[in-house]
């Protein structure tokens, strides 16, 4: 039975003191109503409590689901990061390998280009590099108002030397001569090339005639001082060289073949006597500016 409130107790006390029987009936009814109200209130509290427990349980389940979802997402995120790191490492490695391959290809290509411009036997510039450089230097020095000199040199009686001493000895002689000539021309812009089988071409940018003559004479002496025996030579007991010189002045605009023609004429003149140095001037009309 529900406890009696302080108000009910006061009422009972009042009725008791008066001794009114009817009042007792009224009190009983009031007490019954109070009991019902109290019971209903307790019932409502219990229902609210049950609802709150149910809601709390639902919230706990929802929170558990969220926690599981977060855990799954976290694991998925960590796995994704791991995959990204692995993929990034693979890509970096592939990129490095690609760079290595590209560098190797570039180096190989540079070597091929270099070999394409170098004479295989002597190791100096070949005819291709000579022609390209001559064209470039003529244009450059004309713009800079500087002369360009050309030396054409050919070993005397070299065909007879090859027949007498054999191809191997002839190749060795060419190597020695090429090395000696290269050491004679030490300036950076000078180009020493094997122009033909037994001839050489030397490009001397920014070089006047008198300096070219001095270089040519020194080259002739260097070849002579190699003392390469040549029993079939008609001018000496050793290998010698004939040298022709031509110079293009900056106040005239010529083409490369004009300078080459003058150098060839000078070489022909030197070969009339052998082991000499000759000069010839450019005789063609200046080429028109393009």
pLDDT of residue 81: 85
Q: Domain map of the chain by residue range?
A: 1-116, 127-279
Q: What is the mean pLDDT of residues 144-168?
A: 95
Q: What is the mean pLDDT of residues 41-66?
A: 80
DSSP state of 4: P
The answer to whether the beta carbons of residues 148 and 205 sit under 8 Å apart is yes
Q: Tell whether the model's pLDDT for residue 8 goes beyond 80.
A: no
pLDDT of residue 19: 52
pLDDT of residue 194: 96
Least confident residue range of 33-42, 193-202, 215-224: 33-42
Q: Quick one: pLDDT band at residue 288, thresholds 50, 70, 90? A: very low
Q: Tell whether the model's pLDDT for residue 86 goes beyond 90.
A: no
Q: Tell whether the model's pLDDT for residue 232 goes beyond 70.
A: yes
Q: Tell whether the model's pLDDT for residue 82 goes beyond 70.
A: yes
Q: Tell whether the model's pLDDT for residue 289 goes beyond 70.
A: no
Q: Tell whether the model's pLDDT for residue 285 goes beyond 70.
A: no
pLDDT of residue 10: 59
pLDDT of residue 46: 79
Mean pLDDT score of the chain: 84
Total number of residues shown for the chain:
290
pLDDT of residue 57: 81
pLDDT of residue 95: 77
pLDDT of residue 290: 35
Radius of gyration of the chain (CA): 56
pLDDT digits (tens, 9 = 90+) for 237-248: 999 999 999 999
Residue range 127-279, CATH number: 3.30.70.270
Q: Tell whether the model's pLDDT for residue 20 goes beyond 80.
A: no
Pairing label, strands 241-248, 277-279: parallel
Look up residue 39 and give its two tokens: 């019971």
Angle at 88 between CA 83 and CA 94, to 5 degrees: 125
- Residue 247 to residues 46, 122, 187, 236, 244, Cα–Cα distance (Å): 121, 26, 18, 29, 11
Q: What is the mean pLDDT of residues 90-106?
A: 74
Q: What is the mean pLDDT of residues 129-141?
A: 92
How much helix, strand and coil, in percent to the nearest 5, is found in the chain?
65, 10, 25
Q: Tell whether the model's pLDDT for residue 271 goes beyond 60.
A: yes
Q: Tell whether the model's pLDDT for residue 23 goes beyond 60.
A: yes
pLDDT of residue 71: 85
DSSP state of 229: B
- Residue 168 to residues 61, 161, 172, 188, 260, Cα–Cα distance (Å): 97, 11, 6, 32, 30
Of 229 and 189, the structure prediction assigns the larger pLDDT to 229
């Amino acid at each position: 039975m529900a406890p009696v409130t302080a108000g009910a107790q006061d009422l009972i006390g009042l009725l008791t003191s008066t001794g009114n029987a009817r009042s007792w009936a009224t009190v009983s009814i009031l007490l019954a109503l109070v009991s019902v109200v109290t019971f209903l209130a307790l019932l409502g509290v219990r229902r609210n409590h049950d609802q709150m427990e149910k809601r709390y349980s639902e919230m706990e389940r929802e929170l558990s689901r969220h926690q599981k979802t977060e855990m799954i997402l976290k694991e998925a995120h960590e796995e994704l990061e791991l995959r990204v790191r692995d993929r990034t490492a693979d890509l970096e490695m592939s990129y490095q390998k690609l760079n290595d391959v590209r560098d190797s290809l570039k180096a190989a290509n540079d070597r091929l280009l270099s070999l394409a411009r170098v004479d295989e036997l002597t190791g100096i510039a070949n005819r291709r590099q000579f022609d390209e450089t001559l064209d470039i230097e003529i244009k450059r020095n004309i713009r800079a108002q500087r002369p360009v000199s050309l030396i054409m040199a050919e070993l005397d009686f070299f065909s007879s030397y090859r027949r007498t001493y054999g191809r191997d000895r002839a190749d060795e002689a060419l190597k020695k001569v090429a090395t000696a000539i290269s050491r004679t021309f030490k300036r950076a812009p000078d180009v020493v090339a094997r122009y033909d089988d037994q001839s050489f071409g030397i490009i001397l940018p920014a070089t006047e005639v008198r300096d070219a003559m001095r270089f040519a004479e020194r080259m002739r002496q260097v070849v002579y001082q190699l003392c390469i025996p040549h029993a079939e030579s008609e001018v000496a007991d050793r290998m010698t060289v004939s040298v022709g010189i031509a110079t293009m002045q900056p106040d005239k605009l010529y083409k490369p073949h004009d300078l080459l023609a003058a150098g060839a004429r000078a070489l022909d003149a030197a070969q009339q006597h052998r082991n000499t140095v000759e000069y010839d001037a450019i005789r063609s009309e200046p080429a028109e500016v393009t």
